[in-house]
């Protein structure tokens, strides 16, 4: 078992249980929206959902040129499938941009079944947080908390949503990025942790039958942002296929028992589900596998109410 793993098997690449070719992970009949979908992990997630037979995949990003290139590659790779790829240029930290996206989808009679929150802001960075400009610092929170929240609200409030239709929300979160000792990532990791914690709370308010919410750490990936800090040969990077396929698994009924929890793509899903101790803790501990204060047991306020 690797350090930080709940399972004896620690995956660095995709594996059969999370393969989008599995019938039980089929996304047939579903429209998928991926933020930050033009490159890196977002692009690979789009590929995995296409392999899982999603008939429509929407990739959103800030740079239209990047989206156009990504869409062209996807259409070429899946030219023999029926999957439709749609691009939308937008900024999730801008409320008007978010509203424009969802209004556009509604006007085109497009209902989104799966939302993958992958867009993120990695700035600012520096060894001394006190010396950061407040406006720059808040940009990280505007994207990683505010933008993701706005997208989630619009997602669950779609006018075209049929009564009783379950939704799937997948949050790609490197909330514990300090584990990998990436330099000067305080606002990024803190803001990602904040939103992941918020989703854990929301999951307690909405049953899995309403909206299934899964947050997961994608691993150590050589992306455009990582290349700004590391040489490609400096680290043993995980394969992009691991988190990409994991996102499909997380958006399926196979992951329903992890509703509201934060897990790692590295962990073997079959071993995780077969571990009776883990299942027991999920049942008994509301804070297990959720972002919280380390070192404290679950705290109840029941003793403060006078009717107890």
User: Any catalytic annotation for residue 192?
Assistant: yes
- Which residues on adjacent β-strands are paired with residue 217? 264
CA nearest to 99, candidates 150, 165, 146: 150
User: Any catalytic annotation for residue 125?
Assistant: no
End-to-end CA distance of the chain: 44
User: Any catalytic annotation for residue 246?
Assistant: no
DSSP run (H or E) holding 61: strand 56-61
Of 48, 173, 191, 252, which one is the catalytic site residue? Answer: 173
The sheet carrying 31-35 orders its strands as: 84-89, 56-61, 31-35, 114-117, 167-172, 211-217, 262-264
Of 51, 53, 188, 215, which one is the catalytic site residue? Answer: 188
- Which residues on adjacent β-strands are paired with residue 61? 89
DSSP letter, residue 143: I
- Taking the C-alpha atoms of residue 42 and residue 21, their distance in angstroms, rounded to an integer, is 19
- Which residues on adjacent β-strands are paired with residue 41? none
Own/partner contacts of 175-183, CB < 8 Å, gap of 24 or more, are 175/215, 175/217, 175/262, 175/291, 176/217, 179/4, 180/220, 182/229, 183/125, 183/127, 183/229
According to the 3-state scheme, what is the secondary structure of 210-224?
Answer: CEEEEEEECCCCCCC
Of 192, 222, 246, 290, which one is the catalytic site residue? Answer: 192
- As annotated, the active-site residues are 173, 188, 192
């Amino acid at each position: 078992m690797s350090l930080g793993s709940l399972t004896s098997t620690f995956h660095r690449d995709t594996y059969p249980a999370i393969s989008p070719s599995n019938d039980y992970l089929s996304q047939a009949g579903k429209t998928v929206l991926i933020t930050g979908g033009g490159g890196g992990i977002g692009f690979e997630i789009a590929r995995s959902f296409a392999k899982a037979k999603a008939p429509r995949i929407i990739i959103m990003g800030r740079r239209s040129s990047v989206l156009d290139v990504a869409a062209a590659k996807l259409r070429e790779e899946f030219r023999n499938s029926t999957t439709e790829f749609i691009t939308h240029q937008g900024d999730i930290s801008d409320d008007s941009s978010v509203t424009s996206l969802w209004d556009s989808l509604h006007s085109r009679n497009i209902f989104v079944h799966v939302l993958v929150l992958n867009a993120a802001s990695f700035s600012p960075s520096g060894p001394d947080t006190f010396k950061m400009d407040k406006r720059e610092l808040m940009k990280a929170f505007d994207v990683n908390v505010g933008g993701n929240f706005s997208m989630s609200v619009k997602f669950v409030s779609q006018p075209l949503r049929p009564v009783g239709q379950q939704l799937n929300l997948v949050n790609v979160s490197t909330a514990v990025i300090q584990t990998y000792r990436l330099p000067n990532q305080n606002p990024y990791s803190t803001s990602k942790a904040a939103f992941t914690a918020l989703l854990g709370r929301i999951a307690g308010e909405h049953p899995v039958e309403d909206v299934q919410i899964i947050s997961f750490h994608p691993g150590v990936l050589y992306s455009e942002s990582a290349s700004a800090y590391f040489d490609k040969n400096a680290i043993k990077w995980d394969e992009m296929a691991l988190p990409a396929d994991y996102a499909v698994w997380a958006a399926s009924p196979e992951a329903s028992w992890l509703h509201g929890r934060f897990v790692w793509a590295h962990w073997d899903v079959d071993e995780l589900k077969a571990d009776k101790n883990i299942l027991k803790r999920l049942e008994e501990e509301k804070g297990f596998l959720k972002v919280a204060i380390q070192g404290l047991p679950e705290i109840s306020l029941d003793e403060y109410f006078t009717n107890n």
